[in-house]
A and B are shown apart, each in its own frame.
Chain A
């Protein structure tokens, strides 16, 4: 017993060091997958306030560009407004349309804080669970997908962006219909890659890549980027497709959060698929 106490006294600095390291590194490696507490992220109340103040100070730097983008989007929407169409037939009876039912709703949000050079990059948004945000909702901007909501507090939320290691959004080539998973290697915030595409199909340069919408997080057909080049994966019949993102995440400000009104229904149906049991 005395020896044990002597041992602890002798190595107490090292032991405390080891304890602190384990504490820090275990939070780091578990948080990448499963966020637990909000006070550790920028979704926390204090941090959120600080980020908001900072955003208030710096938001004007990109104002001209942001306004441009909003105007373009407005034009696009205005063109679809009934006022921009000329009526060709006057004696039609208006009926309630039951062919279409709304599946996706969009909530506008502002990016308060973002990084692009780290291995795993997270964006902080200025809306939270009070506004109806939940973990796992999709986020996109007018030019492309942005990420998936990772952690939510009452007034803020943190997005796990496309620029993280395990983002795995299911995407497809627009006209070929091939699909794979979106990956990011941590180097260039302009480029990502798609894994799981078989190399028996020729893929043209600048083929458009869009979301597949399989998991019900994103609607089908949201732009992701274009194919820049294809490389063969050694020893496997697969292409490693290099993708140029259509959104420049370095200057991202306005985004939309996607609320899927039929997600419950899809999950319920898919949960009835019997799980393959290991023999």
Chain B
């Protein structure tokens, strides 16, 4: 009896340090942010309760509206890019060989470069006159673009830039692929299923939990990850084309000491992030029963 109750307690004891850390470092600040969002707070003086005034301001603040919209397409774009990219690369490289190992390392590389350096590298790659991308396009006789200088191409560029940081997702997909029992695939092949059929009816459904995990994580991260790359490569332009919510939060909260308003915008980020995650859950889980994995 005693042993049993202890074994029931054990997992919680093991989790305790982590739970404590998450509570203090994540949930407490989150709750605090929600509370602050109903106040006027300049960090120097105590917060003043102002109810929903900060939220009401969203309707007049056109830069906020623009930034929210920009953040939305950025998140959707990068999550899709990274998800599809990580999956395709994992499928292609789920083999052995020296070249394969090298390729895997190469894919992981962009994810470990510090973000400022990473953004500066892209600034070089996308340089309209001397960048290797435009030089390559010119050599091939293809049209070149001022990538970071027009609205559409700047938007595409920041998504692609973030999209290549898919190393972690790639590793997760690779691990998930290798966990799928060979017998299932062999049996399907013996029954005459084509590669495409095997992918659609066996691999993808079995990979859904991992894909979901990746999509959740990427959604939460992408909201914030837009900050540094856009600041360095596009300077949030041209004309607000890559002006994201974190930029506006920074300019209002830290630039103008409007921390209450900044908190309200952060709450919007939480809520929109949660909604997006809920949406992904519904879309990806629809019509398949992969719960067992």
Q: Do A and B bind each other?
A: no
